Amino acid sequence: MIEVRHSVAGAAIAAVDAGLLNRVRKTSIILGLVMAAPLATTFGLMAAAGWLAGIAWSLFNLAALASLVRMVMADKTDRAAITAVSAIKFPLLYGAGFVMLGVLKLPALWWAAGFTWPLFVAVMKSLGRLYLGLDEGTRTARTLNRSR
């Protein structure tokens, strides 16, 4: 059962471009900062701060999850390291979320919008790569290119 789980997950991770997370991180930060200026002038500084805090929280969460997945998928799984990363990730990240929303009273709507921004960027980047045929090795890209 464990071998099947590792082979399925390994195939899924191998299908994702290794640089995808880096591209998503860079684009999310740059475009998030660009979009913060009109948000601040239209909806106020708290809305822009909530937007940026949501983006930051989401990117830190994404980085922590990526490191956990890499550790779990490694050939020699180090359970102590996985436990340590999990023990650090959850209290710090969710504590920071509580501080942002509960103590600093950032607008939850704009925080949630910022939180979903990296997901939107990842989906758009993936669809763009698929449409442009940049990942020629995938079956879907080959099918899409044949139909043009």
Query: Tens of pLDDT along 17-69?
Result: 568 889 999 999 999 999 999 999 999 999 999 999 999 999 999 988 888 88
Q: In this structure, is residue 8 part of a structural domain?
A: no
* 143, HSE (Cβ side, Cα atoms, 13 Å): 3
The residue range of the domain holding 136 is 21-146
Q: In this structure, is residue 115 part of a structural domain?
A: yes
14 or 43, greater pLDDT: 43
Distances from the Cα of 131 to the Cαs of 3, 7, 23, 51, 119, in angstroms?
34, 28, 17, 29, 18
72 or 17, greater pLDDT: 72
Residue 44's nearest CA partner among 110, 118, 136 is 110
Q: In this structure, is residue 13 part of a structural domain?
A: no
Residue 74's nearest CA partner among 13, 142, 135 is 13
Q: How many domains does the chain have?
A: 1
Q: In this structure, is residue 82 part of a structural domain?
A: yes
Cα distance between residue 62 and residue 27, in whole Å: 14
Compute the residue count for the chain.
148
Q: In this structure, is residue 11 part of a structural domain?
A: no
Residue 80's nearest CA partner among 89, 69, 71 is 71
Query: Does residue 119 register a pLDDT over 80?
Result: yes
146 or 69, greater pLDDT: 69
Q: In this structure, is residue 3 part of a structural domain?
A: no
DSSP 128-141: HHHHHT--TTSHHH
Q: In this structure, is residue 15 part of a structural domain?
A: no
Q: What is the pTM assigned to this prediction?
A: 0.78
Q: In this structure, is residue 12 part of a structural domain?
A: no
What is the pLDDT at residue 79? 85
